[in-house]
Structure 1
Amino acid sequence: MSAPSTNSLRRLVIPLGVVVLIALPGIILRLLGADISPLLGMLAFGAAIVAAAFALAWAGEAAEVDISGGLTVGLLAIIAILPEYAVDLYFAFTAGSDPSQAAYAAANMTGSNRLLLGFGWPVILLVSYLAYRAAQKRNATLDIDIESRPFAIRLPGDGRVELGLLLIASTLTLIIPLTGQIHVFLGVILLLIFTYYLYRVSQGETEEPDLVGVARSIGTLETRSRRATILLIFILSAAVILLLAESFATSLVEGGQALGIDDFLLVQWLAPLASEAPEFVIAIIFALRGKSAMAIGMLLASKVNQWTALVGSLPIAHLVGGGGWALPMDARQVEEFVLTAAQTVLGISILLTLRFSGRWAAGLFVLFAVTFIVTGQEARYAVSALYAVIALVLCVRHRRHLWPTVSAPFRFPARKVTDPPEGVNVHR
């Protein structure tokens, strides 16, 4: 087994060193508990979180050498949404002793969910298209998961695992708006679905990784060194994200309050914008590198995480915090949940054919933007109905894909390991 070259080590150490230098100011300010302005907080803490996200992207790509791509995407999605877990579970926990905080827990959860699908998916499609056009201009081949006419991202067949579990979870969570609460019993079921999801994606095929840049430098390390490096990056990046998530969100909220923005809207949109930043950055990096399907796959995995583990954890955090066996939701929160659930079902129906095209990206973004214009309860329920009607039409149109999607999580493919590219070690 050949040792990595000096140039290869340099290409690894220098980028990681730059990441550390960018992250250090935010980490130091947080550990010192310095009293800083919201603007400085947004810049320092935000830069550190983005730097950690870059490191996660590199380690996540390199991890494909040792574990299945599906599990890599799932683990990356979990780590990337740690800030959201920290903020949401904090609100749910404090709601146990202060019921007024329950509204913020629901607001943060629904806001982050809709932001992920209504903004995140279309942005990845746009970035993928721009990267594709740039590759065309320099006569380069970008990737194999793009269809140029009409432009669309093509997901692999195992993408139905996430879609199927998301559809099952969405059906179960219909009980939430009907009862006006999230019960601990439902939470346990959703957490079990999430646990099964991690097990299921771990059984996928280990395919040949196509590594470039820093990820390739990690992949060419000796087996033990590579695994130790990946694990260390995962742990340190997750620690940075968790350490700074609340401070970044607080800086955003305080900045918004100074501008006179409503607290509920701050928690629903500005805080999720901060907490979703790592996964957006990682997904955009993948899209720029020609891994568009992996980018959408990561956001889809994040959606599964949010709709199972996050929603399922809220009532448990509420109970641990001194509350009852259910996290209550008022009329406004029920309305938000209905809108979020309807958007989720539409997202699933769009991907039934495993293709995500520009027109559907535009449609998701327009419907997402409309909810900022029509703020009345009746109007927002009308948008929810529109989501549902379009989803129903798509499900009828693509009904032959419904059963393969629902059954996909319970079909286990034969494991297949292919040879790695030259210079990448996979000795186990």
Structure 2
Amino acid sequence: MVLFVYNTLVGVGLLAGSVVHFGTLPEVALTGIAVLGASFLLAWGAETAEKDVPRAFAIAVLAVLAVAPEYAVDALYAWNAGAGGATTEACNALSPAAIEAGETALAGACHDANLAVANMTGANRILIGIGWAGIAVFTVWRAFETKDPAVQDREGWLGDSVQLDTDIATEITFLFAATAWAFLVPLGGGIDILDTVVLVGIYVAYIALILKSDIEQGEEHVGVPRYLQQWPLPWRPLSVIVLFVYSGVVIFTAVEPFAHGLEQIGIDNGIPQFFMIQWVAPLASESPELIVVAVLVNKARSTAGFNALISSKLNQWTLLIGTLSVVFSISYGAYGVLPFDAKQAAEIWITAAQSYFALAILSNFEISIREALVLFGLFISQVILEFVLIREWLALPIDSYELLLAYTAVYLVAGTALLVKRRQSVQLLFGLTADAVRDATDRETVHEEFAD
């Protein structure tokens, strides 16, 4: 533990200005080490907390802290948009070229509004395309040593899969609800108060439900969490609070220079700023979450790991989108709608469609290597093709907007086909969530055979 505390102190000292600025590359390396150390502390805090609170709630708190830097980046762009007066009417009066170039202060504010959406959608697609897919492959690979009982040996090409606990049905169902609403967000011309009420309401309902869950006592922990769980009250929960607060502060502060450093490296090498903000900055801000999940998988706790990934997606797909309008309105000085252009509307649609497809994969409570590779392949191919279009390396018959709509259609068709094929699993999924609601309200459950 001393090593990881030291690593985080390196980042804190660097950011506090107590050391000399060594340049972009050393700063990226040092803050990256700080994020790594803080991620381990965050994982230990979440595992320790499982002794006193429901595991789903501990993981939900972990997920919010791990992606706090992403909230900060998006909030910054939304704030700048509101401060610059980027209303829907004002931005619609400007040409796309003027907004892209930031020709005036208002155009720059409208550009920031688009960046807020681009960064948010990029982060969400990375979480699934790299996070969900990568962790599934990593879990199967590590099972050769960890003997993770969740990894199932399936027949067929790349058929081995990760079997998820049915307790995760609640998270999947709430994420389905948030995804369904996300398809409607672009129809309003921006992110407004209705989006805030619905999406934040979904997350509040989810937290209220999991707080009613039972505290699981059967799973054995090892290392630091096991040691801390032996502490008596009130020191045990205090240790969890210290780990959460300390690691959260370090991650929140260290990821910004880490992400900006990576952005600068990309820009110095000729990569467009918009592309960097949509993909590289979110990749940096999502790194704590992916590290935490890798730590859990390394302990053969793949179900907890996927629970954390799904919880992160849920809070980003609800709280992150829902609070952007609030930040914008505060900065604007009155109620306002965070505007975005047609390209960002397509970005939201493809992000919702990717979520829909990924949830269809998990609807039978497992994900195979083959399915993980399809998730990653669709994600990375779209990013590469968009980069090719931006750099004009090839003359493709479609533009960036049409490319996004084409991938949206692919995700929707594939997801719908899976849901139809797995309709019995989907029925069970929603049934288990209904049981969780009945249990939380002291009503009789229906699917008792899956309660454990």
Matched, 1:174 2:159: no
Change (3 A) 1:229 1:406: same
Residue 382 (1) aligns with residue 439 (2): no
Give 1:261 deviation, angstroms.
Answer: 1.2
State how 1:335-346 maps to structure 2 within 5 Å: 335-346=346-357
1:68 maps to what in 2? 54
2:71 counterpart letter in structure 1: Y
Identity, % of aligned positions: 31
After TM superposition, the structure 1 = structure 2 runs for residues 18-417 of structure 1, keeping only pairs within 5 Å, are: 18-32=3-17, 34-96=20-82, 97=84, 98-135=109-146, 142-149=147-154, 150-207=159-216, 208-322=218-332, 325-375=336-386, 376-406=400-430, 408-412=432-436, 414=439
Structure 1 SS opposite 2:219: coil
Q: 1:373 to 1:235 in 2, by over 3 A?
A: closer
Aligned-pair CA distance for 1:408: 4.6
Q: Does the Cα contact within 8 Å between 2:140 and 2:162 map onto a contact in 1?
A: no
- What is residue 105 of structure 2 aligned with on the other side? none
Q: CA deviation at 1:144?
A: 2.9
Kept after mapping to 1: 8 A contact 2:182/2:348: no
Structure 2: how far apart are the matches of 1:317 and 1:410? 34
Cα deviation, 1:263-306, whole Å, max 9, x if unaligned, reads: 11111111101100110000011111111111111111101001
For 2:279, the aligned partner's letter is W
Report the aligned-residue RMSD.
Answer: 1.7
Whole-angstrom CA distance in 2 between matches of 1:337 and 1:315 = 15
Q: CA deviation at 1:343?
A: 0.2
Mapped contact 1:64–1:209 kept (Cα < 8 A): no
Give the C-alpha shift of residue 324 in structure 1.
5.2
In structure 2, the residue corresponding to 1:204 is in which secondary structure?
coil
Displacement of 1:364 after TM fit? 0.1
Quick one: higher RCO (CA 8 Å, sep 6+), 1 or 2?
A: 1
State the one-letter code of the partner of 1:176: V
Q: Secondary structure at the match of 2:270?
A: coil
Query: For 1:338 and 1:398, how far apart are their aligned partners in 2?
Result: 24
The one-letter code matched in structure 1 to 2:261 is: S
Report the alpha carbon displacement of residue 374 of structure 1 after superposing the two structures with TM: 2.5
Helix, strand or coil for the counterpart of 2:367?
strand
TM-score by length of 1: 0.88
Say whether the 8 Å CA contact 1:65–1:209 is kept in structure 2: no
Q: Give the Cα–Cα distance (whole angstroms) in 2 for the partners of residues 23 and 56 of structure 1.
A: 12
CA distance in 1, matches of 2:370, 2:133: 10
More deviation, 59-68/394-403: 394-403
CA distance in 1, matches of 2:152, 2:214: 24
